[in-house]
Structure 1
């Protein structure tokens, strides 16, 4: 991923579900990085099992609710728009409400990244980690 690209300035040019697509990848990479650092001696399979518990839909929904009060009004708006975006599918093992919360959370992460607000993105990811990943 190229770090020197100019941020996208018009949020209207990107669909909310595209932000969520980006945010999903960002959160997955963040969680994997943290798990490898916390558990350096574990196998890739063990790390994968830990990561799945943290990034699954229900866990993301819980994380989203845990950080909601820390968001700015603009970030809450992005979260809301992502949550309300119409998705063609819902994963077979996910509750619709949890899926929408997770989508809003991912959309916020993707939005911050694609609009060049990496510092705030890192703050939010730190808040997520600080909540604890008890299922990890």
Structure 2
């Protein structure tokens, strides 16, 4: 018996993965127009995934890209929970170590680029390292 592909059961509608990839591509182009320089995308490290890594002048920027069709249950930015922040911090720490750096030696920040419907919200320094 043939298997039904996972994802949307509505013809012409993108799967969650396809939607995520499309918005990450859109986010990269949007941020490049704002002057950031692309470093890496979809970085999988122990503990989490980093959607985009970019440079803003001399600052390494770890970017979480979020999309929600509407703000009905809170906007896209609201979906970056404390747990998600911790995963991003762990993944960034490992990525920096692989590139001969650390939070002590590399100037970095964590941004969120949130797409809610047609609205785009760029939150710089969305969260910081715990003290």
The answer, yes or no, to whether TM exceeds 0.5 is no
Choose between structure 1 and 2 for higher RCO, CA contacts under 8 A separated by at least 6 residues.
1
* Larger CA Rg, structure 1 vs 2: 2
| TM-score, structure 2 normalization | 0.33
User: Of Structure 1 and Structure 2, which has the larger fraction of its residues in strand?
Assistant: 2
User: Of Structure 1 and Structure 2, which has the larger fraction of its residues in helix?
Assistant: 1
| TM-score, structure 1 normalization | 0.32
